[in-house]
Structure 1
Amino acid sequence: MTARLTAVVGSVSPGDTVWLGNFGVQLFAVADELIRWGLTGLHVVIGSGGLVLDRLIGAGVVDEVTFAHCWSAVGPAPAWEFRRAWQDGAAIRWHELPLGALSAALGAAARDVPFAPVVVSPESGYLADDWAGGMLAEIASPFGPATVVRALPIDVAFVHASLADPGGDAHFGYAPGDAVAAAQAARRVVVVAERVVDSVREVDLPGLLVDTVVEVPGAAAPDGVPGLYPRDVAAYEAYAGRGA
């Protein structure tokens, strides 16, 4: 089940819907490989977009993106490529969703149903200005009206873990965010582990859901991983300064 990251990323195809990382932990190693392979036409799904999404947009990898937010966590500073693409009307299909609605969309895909009910303020831009890009709708039902989010199936989910074993059992070591929901919604799941060990005792993601494990120490750098290594604040500040 174990493999090399470059080979796994090389199996991603243009047009695939790709989940990246865990909320609050950015998988820079995967983003850098996607760029190195010269992939284009991807639909990237990410809860916390951050500088990973910014890099992918700047490199022309992304044709479509579903996200909850995108900015630099240090400063906070703008994610400049994201900002320019949005403001300049780049040919990218944007789907901004509240994190809870994004999680519900993944849950609907995992259950193989077309949509899930969500609570979204009607005064928010998600509905009034269609920030969600067609992902949200108002429907009538015998039980009353409801706001729903379209199911969001994933072709390949890259999920970060602090520890994993060769069988795919993974331990995050921090709050998993939407990572488990993304794995359940995915056709193929790749665990990107800081370290592969013989056996994982505290299992956050069972190997039953995992197709491939890759060991990549420092997979999130220059972002940090709770309990393992800190975020490189200087690198984030330098990135923000280059875009100003």
Structure 2
Amino acid sequence: MTTLAEAVATVGPGDTIWLGNFGTQLFAVGEELVRQDIRDLHVVLASGGLLLDRLIGAGVVAEVTFTHCWNAIGPAPTRHFRRAWQDGADIRWHELPMGVLAAALAAAAQGLPFAPVRVHPGTGYLTDDWSGGMLATVTSPFGDTTVVRALPVDVAFVHVDRADPDGNSVFSAPPGEAVAAAQAASRVVVVAEELGLPAGVRADLPGLFVDTVVVSPGAAAPDGVPGRYPRDIAAYTGRTP
């Protein structure tokens, strides 16, 4: 076990990091990255939202792989993201469908160079290269197919509801791609709302994948966590109480 500051301090410039789970944004980790002035990161998020917007605005991001970036509440947009995209900021963008991102992580977890995927031909993922070079077509004796490049992760910060000191963890909601990200990562930090597992509860993420545990109640705020605390609507709409 360690502190959040110590865990974030293991991240170095140029690292690829996974942040949070789909639907749960680890704002505490993002703010610590900003506080420690860690730059030039490849940030991977299943759901970008206000956390990705914050990291872009703070100059943390050199490369990003994501499925979307928006304010789920509104009306305040993700201004830093929008400005960087439209103005051609020096950021390498990789936008992928959710299932394709999961396949890229799974390929890395299995030590494969790529994974076959299905991408709708009527979208810009293929015609306009929204993926930023992560998609290609390969030919085999069995036919042609679209593939996604494997996405190995240096450090995965995974949000969990509970964890024991060995890293055995349970989620409070469906984890999305978090387990695949942990399997694809060289180092895994679980950020838990609470320490300890009830007797007889089976871990959703076994401790054998986990390198260290951080106990940080409220780590997702102002986002919400089912069964713990609600999303701060005022923060998402840009209003103060």
TM-score class, shorter = over 0.9
The 3-state SS of whatever aligns with 1:69 is coil
- Preserved CA contact (<8 Å) 1:107 1:185: yes
1:68 and 1:226 map into 2 onto residues whose CA distance is 22
SS at match of 1:48: coil
Per the alignment, residue 187 of structure 2 pairs with 188
Q: Which residue of 2 aligns with 1:219?
A: 219
Q: How big is the shift at 1:75?
A: 2.3
- Helix, strand or coil for the counterpart of 1:145? strand
Matches for 1:31-46 after TM superposition, within 5 Å: 31-46=30-45
**2:209 corresponds to which residue?**
209
- Kept in 1, the 8 Å contact 2:124–2:130? The answer is yes
**Alpha-carbon shift at residue 238 of structure 1 (Å):** 1.0
Check whether the contact 1:104–1:118 (CA below 8 A) recurs between aligned residues.
yes
Q: Does 2:232 align with 1:229?
A: no
- TM-score under structure 1 length normalisation: 0.96
Give the conservation status (yes or no) of the 8 Å contact 1:166–1:198. Answer: no
Alpha-carbon distance in 2 for matches of 1:198, 1:139: 46
Tell me whether 75-84 or 107-116 shows the greater mean CA deviation.
75-84
Q: Which amino acid aligns with 2:190?
A: V
SS at 2:238 equivalent: helix
Amino acid at match of 1:221: A
Match runs of 1:25-174 below 5 Å = 25-75=24-74, 77-174=76-173
Q: State the 1:76 CA deviation.
A: 5.6
Partner letter of residue 24 of structure 1?
G
Runs of 4+ in 1 over 6 A off after TM superposition: none
2-side partners of 1:54 and 1:36: how far apart? 16
Give the deviation of 1:152 after TM superposition.
0.1
The Cα RMSD (Å) is 1.3
1:12-67 superposed Cα distances (whole Å, 9 cap, x missing partner): 00000000000000000000000000011000000000111000000000000000
Q: What amino acid is the match of 1:10?
A: A
Q: Is the 8 A contact 1:164 1:199 kept in 2?
A: no
Shift of 1:169: 0.4
Matched letter for residue 149 of structure 2 = R
Name the CA distance, whole Å, in 2 between partners of 1:101 and 1:211: 26
1:173 shift after superposition: 1.4
- Structure 2 residue identity aligned to 1:182: A
> For 1:195 and 1:13, how far apart are their aligned partners in 2?
27
Contact 1:44 1:62 in 2 (8 A): yes
Q: How far apart are 1:87 and its partner, in Å?
A: 0.3
Alignment size in residue pairs: 239
Tell me how far apart the structure 2 counterparts of residues 77 and 184 of structure 1 sit (CA, whole Å): 35
Structure 1 spans left out of the alignment, 5+ residues = none
Identity across aligned pairs (percent)? Answer: 67
For 2:134, give the aligned amino acid.
M
Deviation at 1:197, TM superposition (A): 1.4
- How far has the Cα of 1:202 moved from its partner? 3.3
Q: Which blocks of at least 5 consecutive residues in structure 2 are unaligned? A: none
The code of the aligned residue for 1:233 comes to: I
